Every structure is written in C-alpha cells, then in structure tokens.
Structure 1
Amino acid sequence: MKEYKDCRNPVFPTNLHIPDPEAHVMPDGRVYVYGSWDQEKNIYCSKEYRVFSSENMIDWVDHGKSFDASLVPWVYDETAPKYPGVDWSKPTPFLKKMIEKDTKDGKLEIPKSPKDMLFAPDAIHKNGKYYLYFCMADSSEGVAVADKPEGPFSDSIQLPCGGIDPAIFIDDDGQAYYYWGQFFAHCAKLKDNMVEFEEGSIVNNLVTEEEHYFHEGSSLRKRGDTYYFVYSSMVRGKPTSLAYATSKSPLGPFKYQGVIVDNDGCDPQSWNNHGSIEEVNGQWYVFYHRSSQNRQQKRRLCIEPIFLNEDGTIQEVLMTSQGAGRPFGINEKIEAYRACQLSGCVYIAPSKNGDEVLINISNEDEAVFRYVEWEKEVKDISIEGTGSGEIFIFLDNDEDASGSITLKEGQMVSSSFNGHSGKHEIRLQFSKVNNLEVHALCFRG
C-alpha cells in the first residue's frame, strides 16, 4: 500500500496510467476509484486492476492489485458461452464521419488486444459484500466478489451479455441495475444476489449514438429524483467528451443534456474519454482521463469539481492542472506534465532521465496550466529545461505577454515577470525552438 499526498492533475505518479475511472463513496466514508490500467504503450488496458481511495480528494492511498485476468476461467475455455459484442467493421454514422475526417484512407485502425485483457470496470457495495463488474477484450463480461472495497476480488461469474464498459447502480429501493454497451447502451435488472440478471429484464437502446451521441462508457448516478447517465460522447466529432442525459427512471427515457468535460487538446492523439461523477463530502466531482505520450493510450486519472444549476443541469468545466487540489502558489514548482491543454505538436512524455516533460515542441506551440493563485505581485519566473528556445508567458486571455524567457542548453533560467495577484491561467508560447524540452516552471514574488 502506498500513499500519495497533495495530489493535483494528473492525480497519480507519472508511472501509473489509470483510465476509465468509476468513483464510489463506500460505507467507510472514503471514495474509491476503480479503473483499468494502461501498462503497455500501444494496447489499451492490461491484465490487472488496482484500486485507489481517499477521504479528502487530495491525499490518496494505492491499495495495489485487486484482480487479474488469471481469475477469469471462461476466457481460456473454448466451451464457455459466447455473447455478441460490437462489430467495428460496420461503423455507425457518427463513427464513419469521424473516420473519413481523421484518416487518410478512410480506415480506422483499432489496436489489437489479447483476449484476456481487462477493460473498464465498476464496483458497488451491497449486503456487506463488494461486487466488481468487469469486461474482457473478447467482449465477455463478469462479476467478482470481495469482503473489502479494495479487494482482492475472486469467485468470478460470467454474465449473460457481451460488450464493454459495465456500470452498476443500486436505486433507493435496493434494486440493482447493470448497464453496458458501445454505440447502443443496454440495461438489465440484477437479482438480489448481484450476479444474475432477472429474466426478461434487458432493455436495449437505452441511450444511443443517434439520439444521445453515445459512444461507450456508461455510468449512472442519482441526485434527488433525477437519474444522470454519464458517458463518452461523439457530440464533438470524436469521443473526447463526457456528456450526460437525464431521466426520472433508471430505465429511461433519457434526454440528452450536454457536455461535462472534454479532454480534446490534452494530447495530439487524444481519442476517447470515460469516467463518472460522484458527490464526495458535499461536493460533486467529475472523474475522467487524459492521454499522454502522443498516444491514444497512456491515459491518466484526472478530477475536476463540477457545479449544478438550480434546474439540475451540470455546468461544463475546463480541464485543469490543479484538479481537486489547490492552485499552484508563489515559489511552488510546477512540473511540466501538469499542463492541461496543448496545441501544436507538443506533448507530454518521459525525457532521457525518465521525468515526464513537454517534448516535441515546435514554433508557435502552446501549453496551458490552470490555475495559479498569487497573494501578491509576482516579479520573477524561472524555467527548467533542455535545448533552447524563447518562451512567452501569458496570463489568462491577455494578448500581450507578461514576460518572456530565453532557455539555453542545460540551464535553469530566470527572468523578470509582471504578474498581478489573483487566480490565473498560465499560457506558454514557444518560439525559436531547437530541441527544446520544458521540465518545470516556478513563479516568485
């Protein structure tokens, strides 16, 4: 078990790529995050899950491995039941438009995964037990059980459905609902044992691509008498946004409402999003992921506070560097991998010494950090990096730079800066670049 203190975005250390986060406050009062794990460079997810928890959204405990694919016997059993999943060879209308727009030959290459890879999970508590719902790369789905929210989970049982991205929800009356699917969301009622479907209870096309821009990643929560269906959405051309639809019943009909957060711009190759919302200590948050390393994979857990209007709709939030934590202050080192918005060729990846930095920088590229907060005027900025280049520093939406700095090979350089007190977005703009890498920055009063 490891502890991570004073976490911002991305939440965990740079060697932990945890996407597809489902967050639940469990009976002990802590919030637990269940996600998949991008361990490989070019393959989604891995053959293991691990669980994380927090009591304050800032300090996190890594509980280690909770489940692995060796505990799923039917994946290796050719006689096990097979249920149809998604046929990617027949793209839906939205996906077809995206393929035509974003590829040169009109073909979308989906990375091949071994059939025993564990994709996105979810988990819930009922009657003193904890149930982990999971899916495999072969489109099979199942459930495992534990005595503790962090596992270890065991005694896997195959569920009578095929697809990806299971989600579990228990209503106030104790009835459990199981959601899954891609392009078209399905739902079934669970029996009280939480491992079997009620006969004849499956509802198809609960949320669809055509009506709701649904792509994948179902997640359900309830607030008052309103049910919130959160999912990866195609509304902006590719599934980088988390959107939501609402209903007065867990079985719909659901009405599309809008976007909660969009990770477009976190990385040049950003492809999808997947997450959830949860109320923790009286505040609602959205849990989502951002990719890195100029890949669709290597996705990381991020968190943003969210705010609901009087009519129950959710205000869209921007990606930030601070996440659920505090803004960066004066004299505080801001690691370059905290950048929350990138434009141009620049992306976040390991440098030669293993630290995650801004690399592949070209002229006119930009990197944004949200937010800093200064109690007094800032008069100096220092930047660590390698290579050379000129860096202009902008506050918020200002057209004129508040300072600039010229970085030379192997130096940490300081320069004068004109920054007034308050909370600000920082935008770096690059020029005269020659093998430039940015490792960190710091503002001083």
Structure 2
Amino acid sequence: MKSKSKIFVALISCLCMIKITAQNPIIKHIFTADPAPIVHKGTLYLYTGHDVASETDTNYKMADWHVFSTTDMATWKDHGAPLSPSTFSWATGDAYAAQCIERNGKFYWFVSTFHKKDEISGGGAAIGVAVSDSPTGPFKDAIGKALVINEMTTDMKYGWDDIDPTVFVDDDGQGYLFWGHGTCKWVKLKENMIEMEGAISTFKPKNYIEGPWVYKRKDLYYLVYPGAGTKPEMIEYCTATNIAGPWTYQGIIQENVTNSFTTHPGIIDYKGKSYFFYHNGSLPTGGSYRRSVCVDYMYYNEDGTIQKIIQTTEGVSKIK
C-alpha cells in the first residue's frame, strides 16, 4: 500500500512538472496568431488574431481579435474578443495581424482586414484603426473609414499588400505606421493617431515578406519581420540609427517554427526581461491555419544585435 502511495505521489509530481514546464503555447483553449504585446500600468496585454479554420480548411478563417493579460507571464486572463471586422462598416473578410498602442490615455488598435467594393475602394486589403478608453475595450471604429486602402499603394500589383500594421511612437512624440506584404511601407502619423502625415514611403528589406514589428531600444531602431524569401517563414531583422533608414540587415533570429509555414514577431520588455512572442502550430489538431501563440526569452549582445531565439516548450518562468 505504501509503495502504491509513493507511485501515486510520484505520478502527481510528474503531472505538476509537466504543467509547469510545458507552458508553450501560452494560450491553449483557442487557436491564436499574430501576437502583439503592450505594457500598461504594470500589466502586460497581449492582442492576437483568432484562427477558427477547421482541420480540413486550406486557408485562413480568422473571426476576430482577442485580448489577454498577465502580471506574472504564467497566468493569462482572456478578456474575450472586443473587436472584429464587423466593427468596421467598410470591412469584410478576416481579422489579420494587428497591433494596439496607448497614447494620451486612449488605446488605438491598428488592424488589417479587407475592404468592401464601393465608391471608395475596389476592394483589397485595408488597414483600419479602432479606439477605446481601456486596453480591453470596448473598441469602436475611430474614423468611420479605412486609414489605408489598396488604391493608396501601387508598388505591388496585387490586392493583399496592405496588411500587418505595426505602430510606434518615438521619443519626440512622432508616431509611425509600418505595414505591408512584399514590400514594407511606412508613413508618419499625426498626434491624434488616426490621420497620416505626409506621403507613404516604400522599401524592401532583405528577404522581407510581411508582418513587420518596429521598436526602439536605446538609440537603435529595430525592424523585425518574417522573411527568408520562401515559406516556411523565419524571423529576420534590420537596424537603423534613423527611423527613416537606411536599414542595415542583421540576419535571422528565429528559425522555422513547429507545424506552421508562417510566424509573426511581437517584442516587449517587461519587469526587467525581454520577451519574444510568436506563433506556431503545435497544439493538438493545430497547423498553419490553426496556430497558437508562444513566448520565449530574448537577449541582446552588447552592440545591440539580437541573439538567436531559442524556441522551447517550457516557455518563460513565472515572475515571482
């Protein structure tokens, strides 16, 4: 009887260890993609897409955008889906990559979806912006129309190049929006975060595909993106001393992910550590259209370059 008790205790201990050490993916009850973290008043908020494709579907079905939060990097609260393409009267299609940012007490959620064919647009991918007084919503369309439509960018001769917005406010208060498939596009934003200031610029970082993530660390600007020229994607990056470039290619920091031909970076510093969010297809029944968000540590060299991301099933440790 004692030996059975010991076996039972040992089994429970093993199960507890599995629960503790197998953190990735961090969201397990739904399929999530395209992670975008921010920190507000000591809490880390994570904005994601939501894959609802079936196991047999051969394309994306992304119903809405979700918000999660944590204060310890181990326990995640699901705040539901406060935003979907149906929030925008001009929109149709799926909820592609998006990023939220706080400015002047309001939260601006830049999203990519598709535009209805109407007198304004012939359709194609478009970028909208929603606004809320809270990081968890409710959100509403901030301007009643798309901020970027396909007709504004003509360098790529197809209709899905205006996707995957990343937004950044520099130390001097100037806001910037980067986005694009095939080429990277960027424009200044006015302080109200819902109007563009000046012309749209376009450039092509080495191996760039889509999904840019722009941020600043010390005096260096970083442009991180899925690249390698072919799928499955890898994460590559460039750096610059000026947000307008020139951008210096620095190499690959994340190799192919498990069971997904796409990946997507989301980078944040939180409570003294740097974190790298991404998605893969590692959940049961997961795949390229049923993805899941993961997080691992991110480390920099003394010169500001990024060390290779080590993908783990353990994920990151709970913050005590």
TM-score by length of 1: 0.59
Inter-partner Cα distance in structure 1 for 2:232 and 2:128: 25
The answer to whether the 8 A contact 1:227-1:246 is kept is yes
1:310–1:165 CA distance, 2 compared to 1 (3 A): same
Q: Which residue of structure 1 lines up, in the alignment, with residue 293 of structure 2?
A: 301
Cα shift at 1:294:
6.4
Within 5 A, what are the aligned runs for 1:34-433?
34-41=47-54, 42=57, 43-75=59-91, 115-137=92-114, 138-157=124-143, 158-162=146-150, 163-200=162-199, 202-205=200-203, 208=204, 211-234=205-228, 237-264=230-257, 266-267=258-259, 270-292=260-282, 293=285, 295-325=287-317
Separation in 1, partners of 2:129, 2:171: 22
Is the 1:245–1:255 contact (alpha carbons within 8 Å) kept by the matching residues of 2?
A: yes
SS of the counterpart of 1:37?
A: strand
Indicate conservation of the 8 Å contact 1:215/1:239, yes or no. no
**Are the equivalent residues in 2 in contact too, given 1:184–1:215 (CA < 8 A)?**
yes
Alpha-carbon contact 1:228-1:244 (below 8 Å) kept: yes
Give unmatched runs, 5+ long, in structure 1: 76-114, 327-445
Distance in 2 separating the partners of 1:285 and 1:321: 15
State the shift of 1:45 in Å.
Answer: 4.4
Return the alpha-carbon distance in structure 1 between the equivalents of residues 33 and 317 of structure 2.
19
Match of 1:10 in 2: 25
Q: Which residue of 2 aligns with 1:22?
A: 36
Specify the alignment match of 2:8 in structure 1. none
Structure 1 contact 129–146 (Cα < 8 Å) conserved: yes
Deviates more, 1:134-143 or 1:255-264: 255-264
Cα contact 2:280–2:288 (8 A) shared by 1: no
Structure 1 counterpart of 2:270, one-letter code: V
Residue 172 of structure 1 deviates from its aligned partner by 0.7
Q: Say if 1:72 and 1:156, in contact at 8 Å, map to a contact too.
A: no
Q: Measure the CA separation in 2 of the matches of 1:151 and 1:66.
A: 6
Paired with 1:148 and 1:168, the residues of 2 have a C-alpha distance of 18
The residue identity in structure 2 corresponding to 1:203 is S
- Using the alignment, how far apart are the partners of 2:286 and 2:268 within structure 1? 30
Does 182-191 or 66-75 show the bigger shift?
66-75
Choose between structure 1 and 2: higher strand proportion. 1
Q: Is the CA contact 1:233–1:239 (under 8 Å) kept in the aligned structure 2?
A: no
Deviation per residue, 1:369-412 (Å, 9 max, x gap)? xxxxxxxxxxxxxxxxxxxxxxxxxxxxxxxxxxxxxxxxxxxx
Decide which moves more: 214-223 or 160-169: 160-169
- SS of 1:159's equivalent? coil
CA–CA distance in structure 2, aligned partners of residues 233 and 54 of structure 1: 30
- Higher RCO, 1 or 2 (CA under 8 Å, sep at least 6)? 2
Q: Deviations over 1:230-270 (max 9, x none)?
A: 111125x4242111110111221111112222234x12xx2
For the pair 1:32 / 2:26, whether they are aligned, the reply is: no
Would the alpha carbon gap of residues 178 and 288 (structure 1) be closer, same or farther in structure 2, given more than 3 Å must change?
same
Identity of aligned residues (%): 36
The 3-state SS of whatever aligns with 2:171 is coil
- 1:132-180 Cα shifts (integer Å, max 9, x gaps): 0001144011101001111121034310343110110011111110011
Q: Which residue is 2:14 aligned to?
A: none
User: How many residues were matched structurally?
Assistant: 272
The 1-side partners of 2:52 and 2:286 are apart by 15
Give distance in 2, aligned partners of 1:248 and 1:12: 36
Whole-Å Cα distance in 2 between the matches of residues 248 and 45 of structure 1? 39
**Displacement after TM superposition at 1:55 (Å):** 1.4
Structure 2 unmatched ranges of 5 or more: 1-18, 115-123, 151-161
TM-score (norm 2): 0.80
Which structure 1 residue ranges, 4+ long, deviate > 4 Å from structure 2? Answer: none
